[in-house]
Amino acid sequence: MKQIYPDLWQSKIYSSGMLNTHAYLLTRPEGNILFYNTGNRKDLDKIAELGGIKYQLLTHRDEVGASLKRIKNEFSPMMGIGKLEALYAKKHVTTDIEFDNQDTEIENVKVFFTPGHTNGSICYYYESPYGKSYLFSGDTIFKWDGRWSTFVIKGFGGTNQDMMTSLQKLRKLKPDVVLSSGFLGNEPYGEVTNKEWVEVIDKLIDQKK
C-alpha cells in the first residue's frame, strides 16, 4: 500500500491485459474502509498494520473476485455492494449491506446509484477532514490514456441513457480527487477543480447523446 493522501492509501497495481486496477484504503478513527478489491499479500499485511477494515465497499460486479473471501476471513469487514450486483459477490462471500437503487449514506460516506456501466453500478463520495473530497467512481468514469472516459456494458444492463443520467448526478458533486477501480494507461486517479469537473462531465454527456 502506498499513501497518497493523509488518510488514503493505494494498493499495488493489478493488471489483466489492458485493464489496470487499484484498491483504496480510507483510514478513519471510527474504522477503515476498503474501496474495491485487492488480493496482494503485502497490501493485506499493510492493511492489518493500519488497523484492519470495518467496511469493504464495491461499486459493481467487476470488482468481485476470490480475494473477497480472503479479506472476509482475515478482517471480517461488513461487505457492501449494490443490490443488483450482489448476486456476483455472493459467489465468494456473504454480503452484509446491499444498497437499494437509490442514493443513501453510510457513516458520512455518500452512496450514489449510478447505473450506466452496468445496471447496478454505484459510486461513493467522501469529504475528508484533511480538506479534500474523494469520489470513488468505480468504472462509471475513469482514466483512459490520461483522458476521462466512460464505458457502457450493454450485456451487463448498461445503457447510454442511464449513463447520461448518472453523469448528470455526479456533475453536481465537487470532488477534488476522482479514483476509479479500473483504468487504462498510467494514471489511476486524477485531481480536478470544480470547473474542470463540470467541463469533463459535459463533454462525456455530449458523447453519449
Tens of pLDDT, residue by residue over 41-91, are: 999 999 999 999 999 999 999 999 999 999 999 999 999 999 999 999 999
Residues 81 and 98 sit within 8 Å (Cβ to Cβ)? yes
Which residue do the cell numbers 467487476 mark? 62
Rg of the chain taking only CA atoms, in angstroms: 16
Q: Which triple of cell numbers denotes residue 99? A: 444498497
Does the domain at residues 2-208 carry the CATH identifier 3.60.15.10? Answer: yes
Does position 18 have pLDDT exceeding 80, yes or no? no
Distance CA 130, CA 159 (A): 36
Q: What is the mean pLDDT of residues 4-25?
A: 90
Integer Cα distance of 61 and 54 in angstroms: 21
Share of the chain above pLDDT 90, in %: 86
Residue 185: which pLDDT band, with cuts at 50, 70 and 90? confident
